[in-house]
Amino acid sequence: MTDTPAESAKPSFRSDVTVELVKHSAADSDVLWAARVSTAGEQSLEELEKDPERSKGLINFLMRDRHGSPFEHNSMTFFISAPIFVFREFMRHRVGWSYNEESGRYRELQPVFYVPGEARKLVQQGRPGKYEFVEGTQAQQELTGRVMENAYRDAYEAYQEMLAAGVAREVARSVLPVGLFSSMYATCNARSLMHFLGLRTQHEQAKVPSFPQREIEMVGEQMEAHWARLMPLTHAAFNANGRIAP
């Protein structure tokens, strides 16, 4: 038997995602001392006290010629709130990433659900690999919002009914859709984040085009903004060299 669920909260709907930088050890100087140890040995520690701006050419060289390991000696931990379907795409990124997500086995999941905002393009044209998304009509927007909200309400009502009857949370959660919001900590280094951004964001400076789902791109854009403040020289070199991870 599970605990009796609390009085049922009313479902709420949102179209945004949030990304908070909760912990980091990341600076452009991390790239420099990691790179210079190969030729300077213990003297590479001097980079910790120097202005990395003076060595931005080295950072650009490493990025351009794809010497990737110096970009791994840093860490960023993000707290992300997004629909479950976004996290399912996240899990495809495994090298250089660590994840811990809230569990529907151990807590009662809250009724917060994703509904696309008006700016979200709804209509897919073409075929996979060569398709594009275009604006939906007002009628499609209204239909999407109404159908999704009704489905979410029905699913959460079924979830609450099973919990009230003593069904285990890990069983009852099966009726909940992937549009339910979840939260997780995601930890990565600059190299793994660059690989993520190269695939999950569209950018005018990218040499290789990417076609991400908009919702995971929204997460990527916020993560990139945090990273750009921490490592501006590395971020600039990433852009200047076609947004291809080294």
Active-site residues, by number, are: 200
Residues 48-77 as b or e (16 or more Cβ within 10 Å = b): eeeebeebbebbbebbeeebbebbbbbbbb
Q: How far apart are CA 111 and CA 157, in angstroms?
A: 10
132 SS3 class: strand
Burial class of residue 13 in the structure, from the number of CB atoms within 10 Å of its CB (0-12 exposed, 13-18 middle, 19+ buried): middle
Burial class of residue 223 in the structure, from the number of CB atoms within 10 Å of its CB (0-12 exposed, 13-18 middle, 19+ buried): buried
The DSSP secondary structure of 59-100, one letter per residue, reads HHHHHHTT--GGGGS-EEEEEEEEEHHHHHHHTT--TTEEEE
Element (H, E) at 185: strand 181-188
Whether 237 contacts 194, CB under 8 Å:
no
